[in-house]
Amino acid sequence: MNSHQDGLAVAVSGGELPVSVHHFRFWGALKRTILFLIGGLMALLVGLGSLGGCLVALQRSPIEAVLWGVFSLCGLIGVGATVYEAFRIFLKTPSVVSVYRSGLRLQNRGKETAVAWAEIAKVERHVSVIVHMGRTHRVDTTTLHFASGKKLRFWDGILSDYSTFADSATYFHESAQLARSAPAGSAAKNRRMKEIRCWHCGEVFDVPVSELSVEVRCRRCKAGLGMMLA
């Protein structure tokens, strides 16, 4: 772990205990991977079937052939997307995720990475409920969008106590964002300006609102204008 990571580790934990610790669930990940591979197989069948339709339609109508070609392309793209997502579950998901009030600790293949909330641009949770043949299926994902542009997605079932992880990550990230924006709001308030006209020389100038509580003097003739109201 380099000096930058050492500094982040101290900033994240700071000696505090983790709010929650979550472990990678092999069987849950395997189940999700199988579902993705089944989806990829279906997309492959659609792509190949549409490709066959495209070849047959070439003899009848170019427009029909183009439509079949578009369907085929979508199916083949779907194959790549589902296979990539299936393997990414095992290759990218950390083996242990610890949630702190100040950030996350991610352990993957013996390597530990500390991530402060400031390094995460957005925590996006998406929940979908699908009703099929009287049965309800719930799909829940939490995606961490890092400031560097990278993404890390967690699916329900591949982390132990996933709901606690998703709720905690969303809550602490939002709290960190509010804490960072509060000082900026106060500074902006202090930088507000008020237009003042000198009664003596007629000079018009701007004075920061934060300075109105003390005696204001004209910038031109230095006449005392007294204390002003914001």
Contact call for residues 21 and 53 (beta carbons, < 8 A): no
Residue 6 in this model has a pLDDT that exceeds 50: no
pLDDT of residue 10: 45
DSSP bridge pairs for 218: none
Query: For 83-139, what is each residue's pLDDT tens digit?
Result: 888 888 888 889 999 999 889 999 988 888 889 999 999 999 988 887 777 777 788
Cα separation, 107 vs 93, in Å, equals: 9
Biggest CA–CA distance in the chain, Å, is 92
Amino acid at 42: M
pLDDT of residue 7: 44
Nearest by Cα to 170 from 140, 130, 149, 139 = 140
Query: For 62-91, what is each residue's pLDDT tens digit?
Result: 888 888 888 888 888 888 888 888 888 888
From residue 55, give the alpha-carbon distance in Å to each of 20, 70, 81: 56, 12, 25
pLDDT of residue 205: 66
Q: What are the extents of the domains in the chain?
A: 192-230
pLDDT of residue 227: 57
